Amino acid sequence: MPVFNAHVPRGRFTIDQKRALADALNTSLVQALNLPEEDRFISITEHNDGELYLHPTYMGMQRTESAILVSVMLGPHHPLENKRRLAAAVNRLVVEALGLSPDDIFLAIIPVPRENFSFGRGELQLEPAGVTS
């Protein structure tokens, strides 16, 4: 049920590279959290010049103009070690897929209660059993 949103500079990546990015993000969940491959919910948004701001040297990084911002909504039940594994897998796999510098991938992990996800039909499929409003 994690949901990825990747924000990329417009025109920097081909359609095949964007598919490789999506594949890398999905694979990071499989490798780091042992989630099924079918648990794939990914949005990639391109931004024009002047719409994506990632400071080039903040926290000692050396970001290029190809830097991307990735957020993932993830259940809050994941311990810190899972988040570390996920961050490492996202970085490694995206670097491999796109040839970016490890400094070019900014990741935000956003905890979201499981009951806040609907996979369709207007239902909250992951809400705890027996909970009513």
The domain ranges of the chain are 3-116
CB neighbourhood size of 96 (10 A): 12
Q: Which residue has the higher pLDDT, 133 or 28?
A: 28
Using CA atoms, how far residue 119 sits from 1, 17, 115, 116, 126, in Å, is 9, 27, 11, 10, 9
What does the pLDDT read at residue 130? 53
pLDDT tens digits along 70-128: 999 999 999 999 999 999 999 999 999 999 999 999 999 999 998 888 889 999 888 88
pLDDT value for 131: 56
Structure confidence by residue, pLDDT tens digits, 40-72 = 999 999 999 999 999 999 999 999 999 999 999
pLDDT at residue 114 in the model? 86
- For residue 131, give both structure tokens: 């909970």
Whether the model pTM is above 0.85: yes
For residue 133, pLDDT over 80 is answered with no
Q: Give yes or no for a contact between 42 and 98, defined as CB atoms under 8 angstroms apart.
A: no
SS3 category, 80: helix
109 strand-pairing partners: 72
The pLDDT value given to residue 132? 54
| Domain 3-116 listed as CATH 3.30.429.10 | yes
